[in-house]
Structure 1
Amino acid sequence: MTATCLTSPLFTDLYQLTMMQGYYFNGLHRQEAVFDLYFRRLPFEGGYAVWAGLEPMLETLESLRFSEDDLAYLGTLRQFRPEFLAALRDWRFTGRIEAFAEGDIVFPHEPLLTVTGALWEAQLVETMLLNSLNFQTLVATKAARCVLAAKSSPHGGEVLEFGARRAQGPDGAVSAARAAFVGGATATSNVETGRLFDIPVSGTHAHAWVESFPDELSAFRAYARLYPDSTVLLLDTIDTLHSGLPNAITVARELRGQGHELRGVRLDSGDLAYLSRTARAELDAAGFPSVNIIASNDLSEAVIAGVIAEGGRIDVYGVGTQLATAGGPGGGALGGVYKLASLNGVPRMKLTGDPGKASLPGVKHVWRATADSGETSPLQWDVLTLGDPPQPGQRVSDPVNPLRSAPIPAGLHWHPARQTVMEGGKRTRPARTLKEIQAFSARQLARVPTETRRLLNPHIYRVSLAPDAASLRQRVMEDLQAQHTK
C-alpha cells in the first residue's frame, strides 16, 4: 500500500454520504449511473495536460471498505440511520472504469475517466477521484513544461523535483513528487517518494553546512571526504564567484588526486544565466568540463526558458515551490469536475446559464486521430462520439461553441483513446511502474504537435463532438428547457 493510495472511504465530502443515504432510502442506490471526469480549461495557459494519478486511485478503489471505526464515527454525526450504516458494512466498489492511460496527453472537455456502476458507489468516489487526479495531473503538466523548457537548451538539461518543504502537507509532497516524475523529472529530493516508487533521490547540502564550519573551504573538504563520488557543492553561501567557485575547484583538484571526481556545483541565488556562464568557463579552464552546474532558487518553466535564452549553462534544474504547488499563471488548481452523464440508460445533463459549464450527456467514446498507424505518428484530433469512430466528411463541432465546426478529412487513422482499466471493482491489467508511466508519457508528449507544446501562445489541439453526440446534447437541452417552461 503506497502513501498516495487513499484507504478510507471517509476521504470524501459529507454531501456524498448524505446523498448516498438519500439514494438508499429512496430505493435509487442500485440504479446504473455513468459519471464523467473532465476539465474545462488547460492549466498554465498551455496547450496540453499530462494525465496523472490514475494508478494510485485504482489501488484505492480495489481496497476501499468501511471499517467498524468508520461506521462508529459516522454514527456520532447523528445524520445517518442505523439501517444505512449497516448497509455500508458490506459496501464495495464494484464498478467499471474507462480511462486514458496514466501519462497520456489529454485536453479539455473530453471525459478522461468514466465510472459506470451503482449510483451510490459512483457517487461516493467523486471526491477522492477529483482530489488525486486533479492535483497530480496539474503537477505532472507543470513538470512536463519545465522539462521541455530545460531540453530546449543546445546543451541539454534535466529537471529534479525539490519541492517537499513547500508542498501542501506530507501527502501533497509525496503526490507532487510522484506526479513530477510522471511529467519527466529525473529524480526527487524526497526520500520517502524514492522508497515508495523506486525512483532516484538527489540532493546536495544546505547553507547551514557551510556555516557550521570555520570557513567555506573546510566545509567543502569535509563534505567531499564523506561523499567522494557524489559531491555537489553549494557555491553561494558567501560569494559565488570569488569564494564558492574557487574553493569548489580546489576541492575538485583534491578529489581527482585521490581518484574521484567532483559531481557538480549548485547555484541558489543571483543572476543564474551570468553565474552559470562564468562558472562553466572557469570549470572548463580548470580541466573540469564534466562537473554539472545545478540551479535552484524558485525556478519555473518561464525562468528556465529565460536563463537558456540569455546563454545560461545550467545542466540540471532543481524545481521546488513552483512544481510542488503547481504555481504560476493558470496554475494553483485544475478545475476538474465529475458529472452524471447517464442514469439507468437515460442521458443526464447539467444545464446552466453559463454554456461553458453545461455537461455532455450520454455514454461517450473518445477517438484519437493520428496521421498514420505508427506508434510515433503525431496526434491530430480527438472526437467524442456515441459509438463508432468519426467518418471522413462528417462535420464535427466544438464542445462549447456548436457554431464552430469543421469536416473530418480523409486519411486520418482513428483509435480508441481510452481503455477499460477496472471491471467489477478489479483491475483489468497489471499495474505499471512509475518508470514505465514516465517513459510512456514522454513518448506521447513527443507526438503532440510542436506548436501545441510551446510555452507561450500554443496552438489549440482540436477536441470535437461528432454529430450523434452533438444531436443528443441538443435534444436533452431542449427537453430540459421545455420542462422548465411548463
Structure 2
Amino acid sequence: MGEPEEGGGGGGGGLRRGSLALLTDLYQFTMAYGYWRGGRHREPAHFELFFRRCPFQGAFAHCAGLGECLAFLRAFRFSPADIEYLESVLPVTTDKAFFDYLLTVDASEVSVSSVPEGSVVFSKVPLFQVKGPLLVVQLLETTLLCLVNYASLVATNAARFRLAAGPHKKLMEMGLRRAQGPDGGLSASRYSYMGGFDFTSNVLAGKLYGIPLRGTVAHSYVSSFTSLAEVNPRSLLPLGSKEEPVDFLSLVETWLSQVCQLLHVPLDQVNYGELAAFVSYAITFPHNFQGLVDTYCVMKSGIPNFCAVALALNELGYRAIGVRLDSGDLAKQSVEIRCLFRTCSRHFQVPWFETVPIAVSNDVSELSLKELTQEGNEIDMIGVGTHLVTCPLQPSLGCVYKLVEVNGCPRLKVTEDKEKATIPGSKVVYRLWDAAGFPCMDLLALEEESPPRAGQEVEFWPLGGAEGAGKVTPAAVEILHRVYLKNGQVCQPLPSLLEIRNHALASLSKLNPAHKRLQEPEAYQVAMTEKLHILLTALQRDSQ
C-alpha cells in the first residue's frame, strides 16, 4: 500500500514520467485564457466524469485508471519549454502575462472523489468528482478522460470474458502484438488483469505491474526443426539424481513406439521435426514443458509426440505442464485429447496424466468463448488477444467530463438530445442494497441533503426518461465515493494492482445475475432524490 508512483499507482510504476500537462486538446488552453482574461480563473468549480451508456450493450462497467490519474495530478505543472511551445501555437494576441501565470499552475488546490478502483459502476453515475479552481480543473479534462476511458473499457471487457469463461478456467491476455501501440499494450495487460484475467504474455507488464507471466513456444520454433538429428544436446539428468545423464532422445523414441501402438497411430504419420522440437524444448525446460500440438496433424502427430515426451519426462521425475491448441474446433479437440490422456494414464499407470492442462488460443472472442462453454469442453486455459485489447465490439467507452457547479451555483447542459443533458449540482451518490444482498439502486442526492437510511422508505425519480416518482426501502446504504486527493495531496493509501483485481472480482460477484447477463441484461436503476429532481426541473425551465 502507498501513494502511486509517477505514471503508476495500483501495482507499480508505468512508462510515463514527469508532467503530462500538454497531453490535452488545444481548446482547453483557449478556454483557460478566456477564464483568466475575464478574471474567473480562480472561481471554485466542480466537474463530474461519467459515461452515458454501459459498454458492450451490457448493464455494468468497471471503474479503472484512478491510480494513473492521481499520478498525473501530482505531477501536473508546466515547464518553461511547455510554456515556450504554447506561446508558439496560441494566437499572437495572447497576453504574455497569461503564460507567466501558467508557470505557477499546478493541482495543489484540486480535490478528487472517486469510486474505489475496480468497483462496478453504471451509466450516468460519476466515476470521478473533481473540484478546484475553474482554470485548472478545465485543463485536466482531456487527460483524465484519456486515462479513464480505455482503462475502464478494457477492464470491463476482461470482466465479460471472465463471466463467459466461468470461474474455473484460467485466462491469459496475449494481445500485445495487436494492441494500439506500446502504451495501449501495457494498459491492456494491466487492466485485463484487473478485470479478471490470470496471466499475461507481456514481459514488460509483468515487470512493471507484477502480473504473472505465461508463454512457451510459437509454431516457428516447432517448424524450425526437420529431423531428430537436430536435437542437441540429447541427454537429460534425472530429477534429484546424481547419476549420469540419460540419452533422453532414445528414451522418447521408445515411448513413442508404445504410445503410437496404444493410440493406433502409424509411426510413419508422426512428424519427426515436431518431435525434435518437443524433445529439444523438454531438455531445455524439463520442469516447464508444454507442447504446441497443432503445427501439423493434432491427433496423428502432435498428441502422440507430446505424450511420448511427457511420459519420458515422467520416467525421469519431471511433469509436463500441458498442451496448447491454436487452430481448429477447440472444444471438440479438447474433448478428444482429454480422452487420449485418460487412456495413457490408465494404460501406463501414470495418474496425473489424465489431468494434463489443455490451453487454447485462436482469435478467441466473447461469442466464441460463450459457444465453447455451451458445447462442453476439457479446456483449462484460454488465451485471448485481439478481441480483448482492441475491444472491437465497442472501441470507446465514451466517458465525458461535465461542469456541474461554479461558484456554488449549479450548472447543467441543456440540449435537444435528452441523453446528453447533465445533472446539476455538487452531489453525493448512495448505493442502495436490497434484502437479498444485491445493489439495487444508485441514488444521486445534493450534498446538503440528509442521507437515506437502511430500513427507511426513500422516494426517488428515475434517470433516463422514466416518468413519475417511485419508492424503495433499502436494506443497507453506502456512500459510493471516497476522497482520494485533497488539495493536491493523496489522502489515503492506494491498493496494489492485485488488491484492485480482488476488489473488482468481489464487486462483480455481488451484482445481481440479472445485471451480469452478457446478452439482454436487466438495466440497473439509477435515480435522483426529489430535491435534486426539483432543482433539475427548475434549471431546465429557466433555460428555455
Q: What TM-score results when the alignment is normalised by the length of structure 1?
A: 0.94
* Cα deviation, residue 260, structure 1: 1.2
* Cα deviation, residue 132, structure 1: 1.3
Q: Does 2:31 match 1:16? A: no
Q: Does 2:439 match 1:379? A: yes
Cα distance between partner residues in 1 of 2:421 and 2:135 = 23
Residue 161 of structure 2 aligns with which residue? Answer: 146
Residue 428 of structure 1 aligns with which residue? Answer: 491
What RMSD over aligned residues (CA atoms) do the two structures have, in Å? 1.6
Cα distance between partner residues in 1 of 2:355 and 2:222 = 24
Cα distance between partner residues in 2 of 1:346 and 1:213 = 73
Residue 292 of structure 1 aligns with which residue? Answer: 357
* Cα deviation, residue 159, structure 1: 1.1
* 1:140-219 aligned within 5 A: 140-151=155-166, 156-214=168-226, 215-219=273-277
The one-letter code sitting in structure 2 at the alignment partner of 1:340 is L
Is the 1:96–1:425 Cα contact (8 Å) retained in structure 2?
yes
Residue 147 of structure 2 aligns with which residue? Answer: 132
* Cα deviation, residue 82, structure 1: 2.5
Residue 82 of structure 1 aligns with which residue? Answer: 96
Q: Does 2:473 match 1:389? A: no
Q: 1:403 aligns with which of 447, 467, 470?
A: 467
Cα distance between partner residues in 2 of 1:393 and 1:452 = 23
Q: Does 2:167 match 1:105? A: no
Q: 1:229 aligns with which of 278, 287, 309?
A: 287
Which segment drifts farther, 362-371 or 395-404?
395-404
* Cα deviation, residue 3, structure 1: 2.4
* Cα deviation, residue 393, structure 1: 3.8
Residue 306 of structure 1 aligns with which residue? Answer: 371
* 1:445-484 aligned within 5 A: 445-481=508-544
3-state SS in 2 of match to 1:334:
coil
Q: 2:385 aligns with which of 303, 314, 320?
A: 320
3-state SS in 2 of match to 1:44:
helix
* Cα deviation, residue 432, structure 1: 1.2
Is the 1:96–1:116 Cα contact (8 Å) retained in structure 2?
yes
Cα distance between partner residues in 1 of 2:499 and 2:457 = 38
Which segment drifts farther, 64-73 or 174-183?
64-73
Which segment drifts farther, 62-71 or 102-111?
62-71
Cα distance between partner residues in 1 of 2:154 and 2:85 = 33
3-state SS in 2 of match to 1:3:
coil
The one-letter code sitting in structure 1 at the alignment partner of 2:147 is S
Q: 2:61 aligns with which of 49, 54, 78?
A: 49
Q: For each residue in 1:313-361, what CA deviation from the matched residue of structure 2 results, as whole angstroms up to 9, or x when unmatched?
A: 1111111111111222xx2110111000000011100110011110111
The one-letter code sitting in structure 1 at the alignment partner of 2:445 is T
Cα distance between partner residues in 2 of 1:144 and 1:138 = 10
Percent of residue pairs identical: 38
* Cα deviation, residue 124, structure 1: 1.0
3-state SS in 1 of match to 2:502:
helix
The one-letter code sitting in structure 2 at the alignment partner of 1:283 is F
Cα distance between partner residues in 1 of 2:362 and 2:71 = 36
Cα distance between partner residues in 2 of 1:258 and 1:91 = 67
Q: For each residue in 1:347-398, what CA deviation from the matched residue of structure 2 results, as whole angstroms up to 9, or x when unmatched?
A: 10011001111011101111001236xxx93222111111333364443122
Is the 1:4–1:175 Cα contact (8 Å) retained in structure 2?
no
Cα distance between partner residues in 2 of 1:5 and 1:450 = 38
Cα distance between partner residues in 2 of 1:107 and 1:283 = 46
* Cα deviation, residue 87, structure 1: 1.3
Q: Does 2:14 match 1:3? A: yes
Cα distance between partner residues in 2 of 1:225 and 1:120 = 64
3-state SS in 1 of match to 2:34:
helix
Cα distance between partner residues in 1 of 2:95 and 2:70 = 30
* Cα deviation, residue 5, structure 1: 4.6
Residue 92 of structure 1 aligns with which residue? Answer: 106
Q: 1:280 aligns with which of 338, 343, 347?
A: 338
Q: 1:69 aligns with which of 70, 81, 88?
A: 81
Pair 1:394–1:352, CA change in 2 (3 A):
same
Which segment drifts farther, 351-360 or 2-11?
2-11
Number of equivalent positions: 472
Q: Does 2:74 match 1:59? A: no
Q: For each residue in 1:50-69, what CA deviation from the matched residue of structure 2 results, as whole angstroms up to 9, or x when unmatched?
A: 11111111111111221222
Cα distance between partner residues in 2 of 1:108 and 1:5 = 30
Pair 1:405–1:252, CA change in 2 (3 A):
farther
* Cα deviation, residue 259, structure 1: 1.5
The one-letter code sitting in structure 2 at the alignment partner of 1:177 is S
Cα distance between partner residues in 2 of 1:377 and 1:66 = 48
3-state SS in 1 of match to 2:291:
strand
Q: 1:254 aligns with which of 309, 312, 321?
A: 312
Q: For each residue in 1:374-428, what CA deviation from the matched residue of structure 2 results, as whole angstroms up to 9, or x when unmatched?
A: xx9322211111133336444312212141542122x521110111111001111
Is the 1:66–1:91 Cα contact (8 Å) retained in structure 2?
yes
Task: Kindly name which structure, 1 or 2, has the bigger radius of gyration based on alpha carbons.
Answer: 2
* Cα deviation, residue 240, structure 1: 1.9
Cα distance between partner residues in 2 of 1:194 and 1:65 = 30
3-state SS in 2 of match to 1:289:
helix
3-state SS in 2 of match to 1:220:
helix
* Cα deviation, residue 282, structure 1: 1.2
Q: Which runs of 5+ in 2 are unaligned?
A: 1-5, 7-12, 227-272, 346-352
3-state SS in 2 of match to 1:286:
helix
* Cα deviation, residue 301, structure 1: 2.3
* Cα deviation, residue 100, structure 1: 0.3
Pair 1:385–1:78, CA change in 2 (3 A):
closer
Pair 1:114–1:238, CA change in 2 (3 A):
same
Q: For each residue in 1:226-262, what CA deviation from the matched residue of structure 2 results, as whole angstroms up to 9, or x when unmatched?
A: 2222222211111222221111111111221222111
Residue 333 of structure 1 aligns with which residue? Answer: 396
Cα distance between partner residues in 2 of 1:187 and 1:353 = 46
